[in-house]
Structure 1
Amino acid sequence: MYHYQECGLRNVWLVNGYDMHTTPYGDGVSIHDIEGLHRAIARGLVNKAAKLTGSELRFLRKEMGLSQAKLALILGNEDQTVALWEKRGTQPKIADRFVRALYREFVEGNAHIRDMIDLLVDADSEEREDRINFVQGSQGWKVAA
């Protein structure tokens, strides 16, 4: 078996799907379908019962192509907060759950979660008025446009 540490996780071992070879620089390994392997690793992380470790959170974040700053913006935190979660391996339960849901949306292509997040992030960055206007029509009350 091959201990696949290059992904940044300490607990990933490959039973097959790789070739060992000798190079002028020493032993080397070629992994078959590395993108598929990373998707499988991420699915395993998303579905595990225990909380994500810091390195697992980092792996999912990177698989989604998000920087620490972008993930922090999505979660409503500072980028240094995400860096600490990844370094110390502890994050709030809501962040753990949300990152898992975000990854599933990323892979499965259901844009509803991401659209909602983008809307909330945009709303956070704009100045908002505290007043909300309502109108009553034939269908009942609704927010005025």
Structure 2
Amino acid sequence: MSYHYAECGLSYIHLADGYNTEVIDEVTYVGVENVHGLHQLIAKNITVKKSPLLGEEVRFLRIECGMSQKNLAEILGVDSQTVARWEKDQTAIPRTSDAALRSIYLESVDTNSKISFFLNLLAESEEVEVIQQLTLKAENNHWSVAI
């Protein structure tokens, strides 16, 4: 028997194993092993599929990237309501935005990527860090941060 893993936001995900159920006071609770790893596998399969992204897949990848609709809209150069319409399947995501979102996700899981740095920066845009002091030094006609 498989478990329909609707909690991820995708209607078609079923788990053959890797989950457990417990009934407490006639309420069934489900625990899923390594949710992070599971979501990475789901996202990888979404990014390599040949058909256009469905609205629920757009939302899943956006959330896995840690972005708001507004963040994704800014990156793709569209309005946040456009992203909302894609996610609700009210309008189809254009092929270029589809490919860009897939690439953004793949870059977001590559922590050594420069794009990953900027995605994290966008995700943390609400936090404000003030530089108290930045000391620089010149050596051999080259500037660097003094430690």
| TM-score scaled by length of structure 2 | 0.74
Alignment map for 1:59-138 (pairs within 5 Å)? 59-88=60-89, 90-114=92-116
Counterpart of 2:53 in structure 1 is: 52
Output the amino acid matched with 1:106: S
Structure 1 segments, 4+ long, off by >3 Å, are 112-118
Measure, in 2, the Cα distance between the counterparts of 1:36 and 1:53.
Answer: 22
CA displacement, residues 54-74 of structure 1 (integer Å, 9 cap, x when unaligned): 000000000111000010000
Q: SS of 1:46's equivalent?
A: helix
Counterpart of 1:143 in structure 2 is: none
- In structure 1, runs of 5+ residues without a counterpart are 119-145
Q: In the TM superposition, what is the alpha-carbon distance from 1:116 to its structure 2 partner?
A: 7.8
Measure, in 2, the Cα distance between the counterparts of 1:15 and 1:43.
Answer: 18
Measure, in 1, the Cα distance between the counterparts of 2:50 and 2:39.
Answer: 19
Q: Tell me if structure 1 keeps the 8 A contact 2:9–2:56.
A: yes
- In structure 2, runs of 5+ residues without a counterpart are 121-147
| TM-score scaled by length of structure 1 | 0.75
Bigger share in helix: 1
Measure, in 2, the Cα distance between the counterparts of 1:77 and 1:54.
Answer: 16
Q: SS of 2:50's equivalent?
A: coil
RMSD value, Cα:
1.9
